[in-house]
């Protein structure tokens, strides 16, 4: 990379002095070096989102959750009574748990609203192995919530470990069973129950504070036998007939799916409506009036009156924050707030969908003002949304028997199907490698030795790092007027590279895969590091006698790369920006989405 001309040097130094954010300064500098036209507008990530099929062969899938144990696995709930594990590469043949014989028996596609409906893992599942399931009981349709324990095999639960926590009679009708379980940020287990069925809530459960149907329940599973009542529940100390102790909120028709924002604990409830309106209810974390909210059913449907009963004149109902009418919509499926890519413009938006129309929206709010924008019009019957450990949002569609991923992404030329998508998002969001201009990353662009110096140090030290100023050039072809001189001098001082020979650094020369192996380990390990000697060689195209063999072997042993395929490493291939993203994120443990 040639040194900058006089005008560009002045402009670059001015940017460096004026910009207190090192990442913005870096973007500006790279643009001036000819790697993209930078401006505040083009530095803002794009708004891109797509849907990617993860796997198929999942009939009757109605739920997807993660265990929060660091395994990255997804647990898919099948209404017919199975919980299946997606490992990230396959659906395991043996179910994690089968509730056949306990939950309502049904055949594929003919379960109605009964069966195995939900699962939640204890926040300390990694150490205590507890998880909880929600199902309708086969014998009489009653709702049961039971605790189970994982077996010695992490992919199989102990079916004999069941402990029933709650049984709620549901005798009259087969519909409106609820089904969602989730632990809140307070560590308590929340459960959403339907109003008991039929239409219009003929049993009056929604407004009955002594009934557990038509409610959001909250219990303490870490104390009591089989559970304790959180002291801040609205009716925690109520005498008999003055409110069920387990209730957190009431006036719900069928809160099929609800979720907590993983960033701030806000609660979102997708409550299925009657004939006219579907609604989203919202509860800000820590709200003074959070406990005991009445969301209005069956006196209200959405923002509108429903029942003409005189008893409805005396209630104080909390309106939903969003509603939408029927036709073609008919049944809301509550989702999650997107937090997977912190810098993405959709971060903080609540994704939800409709079972009948397959449409998916993203909602946001400023104070009390809410807006919702349609993102997709799909052919899916959306039975549930779910969240992975890193915040990815998934959905289940029993019609196609698939698990789908709602995949927002930052760069127009790096879609989530690109092999290095996770790593590109990681290095760009952590200020290591910026985009190349506009909404692009240029993943096929080749890395130069000058860029490499900067990217290595940013990955090692963090995006706020700035090397010492250049006062004395260390290389004849890198004068101190070169904006990359401080970075190049620093990698030389650290012993990462001695240059390209003859007193030069060759800043514009491109980097090979074998050179990158040396640069990565030398940066990571520090001065004096020497990898284990060859032979043998791990790759057919890297001879044991090559000076690069120990370095190439070591990055393979550390899982930084598995080579280029067919038993080879392709040592002379030039490193692209996409490959560099993988190398840096893997070597320096940069969190990937």
DSSP structure string for 150-185: E-SSTTSEEEEEEEEEEEE---S-SS----EEEE-T
Q: Which of 151, 208, 105, 506 is nearest to 491 (CA)?
A: 506
Task: Please state whether 505 falls in left (phi above 0), alpha (psi between -120 and 50) or beta.
Answer: alpha
**Distance (Å) of CA 526 to CA 5, 496, 515, 530, 581:** 34, 8, 16, 10, 21
**Distance (Å) of CA 70 to CA 66, 73, 96, 123, 335:** 9, 8, 17, 12, 22
Sheet order of strands, 48-55 included:
48-55, 402-409, 393-397, 384-387
Say which residue the tokens 């056949």 belong to: 100
pLDDT of residue 395: 98
**What does the angle CA 77 – CA 83 – CA 84 come to, to the nearest 5 degrees?**
100
Instruction: Locate 571 and state its tokens.
Output: 């040592």
pLDDT of residue 31: 38
**Cβ(555)–Cβ(492) under 8 Å?**
no
Say which residue the tokens 């923002």 belong to: 303
**Cβ(184)–Cβ(212) under 8 Å?**
no
Tens of each residue's pLDDT in the chain, 593 residues: 333 333 233 223 323 332 333 333 444 344 333 333 222 223 344 679 999 999 999 999 999 999 999 999 999 999 999 999 999 999 999 999 999 999 999 999 899 999 999 999 999 999 999 999 999 999 999 999 999 999 999 999 999 999 999 999 999 999 999 999 999 999 999 999 999 999 999 999 999 999 999 999 999 999 999 999 999 999 999 999 999 999 999 999 999 999 999 999 999 999 999 999 999 999 999 999 999 999 999 999 999 999 999 999 999 999 999 999 999 999 999 999 999 998 888 999 999 999 999 999 999 999 999 999 999 999 999 999 999 999 999 999 999 999 999 999 999 999 999 999 999 999 999 999 999 998 999 999 999 999 999 999 999 999 999 999 999 999 999 999 999 999 999 999 999 999 999 999 999 999 999 999 999 999 999 989 999 999 999 999 999 999 999 999 999 999 999 999 999 999 999 999 999 999 999 999 999 99
Query: Helices marked H in 2-148 — which ranges?
Result: 6-18, 22-30, 125-128
567 Cβ neighbours under 8 A, 6+ residues apart: 539, 540
pLDDT of residue 11: 29
Strands (E), 276-379: 277-283, 293-294, 300-301, 304-305, 322-325, 332-337, 350-354, 359-366, 369-377
Distance in angstroms (rounded) separating the CA atoms of residues 15 and 9:
10
Give me the numbers of helices (H) and strands (E) for the chain, helices first please: 9, 27
Task: Please state whether 97 falls in left (phi above 0), alpha (psi between -120 and 50) or beta.
Answer: beta
- For residues 150, 153, 155 and 159, what is the CA-based torsion angle, rounded to 10 degrees? -40
Instruction: Locate 95 and state its tokens.
Output: 């179910």
**Cβ(256)–Cβ(226) under 8 Å?**
no
Tell me the sheet residues that pair with 103.
Answer: 137
Residue 171 has a CB neighbour count (10 Å cut-off) of 10
pLDDT of residue 106: 92
Distance in angstroms (rounded) separating the CA atoms of residues 61 and 355:
13
pLDDT of residue 342: 86
For the chain, the domains span: 6-46+426-587, 48-409
Distance in angstroms (rounded) separating the CA atoms of residues 26 and 23:
5
Instruction: Locate 281 and state its tokens.
Output: 């209810």
- Find the helix or strand (DSSP H, E) in which 429 lies: helix 421-429
Distance in angstroms (rounded) separating the CA atoms of residues 356 and 86:
26
Indicate the CATH number for domain 48-409.
Answer: 2.120.10.30
Cis preceding linkage at 23, omega within 30: no
Q: Which of 511, 503, 474, 506 is nearest to 490 (CA)?
A: 474
pTM here?
A: 0.88
**Cβ(342)–Cβ(263) under 8 Å?**
no
Exposure on the CB side of residue 266, measured as CA atoms within 13 A: 19
Distance in angstroms (rounded) separating the CA atoms of residues 227 and 166:
9
């Amino acid at each position: 990379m040639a040194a900058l001309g006089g005008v560009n040097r002045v402009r670059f130094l001015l940017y460096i002095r004026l910009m207190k954010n090192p990442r913005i300064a870096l973007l500006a500098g790279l643009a001036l070096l000819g790697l993209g036209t930078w401006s505040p507008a083009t530095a803002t990530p794009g708004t891109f989102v797509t849907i990617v099929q993860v796997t198929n062969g999942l009939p009757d899938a109605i739920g997807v959750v993660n265990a929060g144990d660091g395994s990255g696995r997804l647990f898919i709930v099948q209404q017919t009574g199975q919980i299946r594990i997606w490992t990230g590469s396959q659906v395991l043949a043996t179910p994690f748990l089968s509730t056949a014989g306990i939950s309502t028996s049904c055949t594929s596609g003919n379960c109605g609203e009964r069966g195995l409906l939900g699962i939640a893992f204890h926040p300390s599942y990694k150490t205590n192995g507890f998880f909880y399931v929600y199902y309708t009981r086969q014998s009489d349709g009653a709702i049961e919530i039971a605790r189970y324990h994982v077996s010695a095999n992490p992919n199989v639960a102990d079916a004999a470990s069941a402990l029933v926590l709650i049984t709620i009679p549901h005798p009259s009708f087969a519909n409106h069973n609820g089904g969602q379980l989730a632990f809140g940020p307070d560590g308590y287990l929340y459960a959403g129950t339907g109003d008991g069925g039929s239409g219009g809530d003929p049993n009056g459960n929604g407004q009955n504070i002594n009934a557990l149907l038509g409610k959001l329940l909250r219990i303490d599973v870490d104390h009591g036998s089989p559970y304790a009542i959180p002291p801040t529940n609205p009716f925690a100390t109520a005498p008999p007939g003055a409110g069920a102790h387990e209730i957190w909120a009431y006036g719900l028709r069928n809160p099929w799916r609800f979720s907590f924002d993983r960033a701030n604990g806000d609660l979102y409830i997708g409550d299925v409506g009657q004939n006219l309106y579907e609604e989203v209810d919202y509860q800000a974390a820590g709200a003074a009036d959070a406990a005991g909210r009445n969301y209005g059913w069956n006196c209200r449907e959405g923002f509108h009156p429903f029942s003409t009963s005189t008893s409805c004149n005396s209630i104080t109902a909390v309106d939903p924050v969003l509603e939408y009418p029927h036709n073609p919509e008919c049944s809301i499926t509550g989702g999650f707030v997107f937090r997977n890519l912190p810098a993405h413009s959709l971060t903080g938006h609540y994704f939800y969908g409709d079972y009948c129309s397959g449409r998916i929206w993203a909602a946001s709010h400023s104070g009390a003002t809410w807006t919702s924008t349609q993102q997709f019009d799909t052919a899916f019957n959306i039975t549930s949304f779910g969240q992975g450990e890193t915040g990815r949002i998934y959905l289940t569609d029993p019609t196609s028997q698939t698990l789908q991923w709602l995949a927002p992404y930052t760069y127009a030329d790096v879609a989530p199907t690109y092999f290095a998508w996770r790593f590109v998002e990681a290095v760009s969001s952590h200020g290591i490698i910026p985009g190349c201009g506009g909404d692009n990353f240029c993943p096929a662009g080749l890395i130069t030795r000058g860029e490499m110096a900067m990217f290595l140090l940013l990955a090692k030290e963090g995006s706020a790092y700035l090397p010492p100023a250049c006062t004395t050039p260390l290389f004849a072809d890198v004068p101190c007027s070169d904006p990359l001189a401080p970075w190049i001098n620093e990698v030389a001082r650290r012993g990462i590279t001695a240059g390209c020979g003859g007193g030069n650094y060759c800043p514009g020369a491109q980097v090979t895969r074998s050179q990158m192996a040396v640069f990565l380990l030398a940066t990571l390990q520090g001065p004096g590091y020497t990898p284990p000697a060859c032979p043998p060689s791990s790759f057919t195209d890297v001879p044991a006698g090559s000076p690069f063999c120990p370095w190439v072997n070591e990055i393979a042993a550390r899982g930084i790369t598995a080579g280029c395929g067919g038993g080879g490493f392709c040592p002379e291939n030039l490193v692209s920006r996409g490959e560099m993203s993988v190398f840096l994120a893997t070597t320096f443990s940069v969190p990937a989405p």
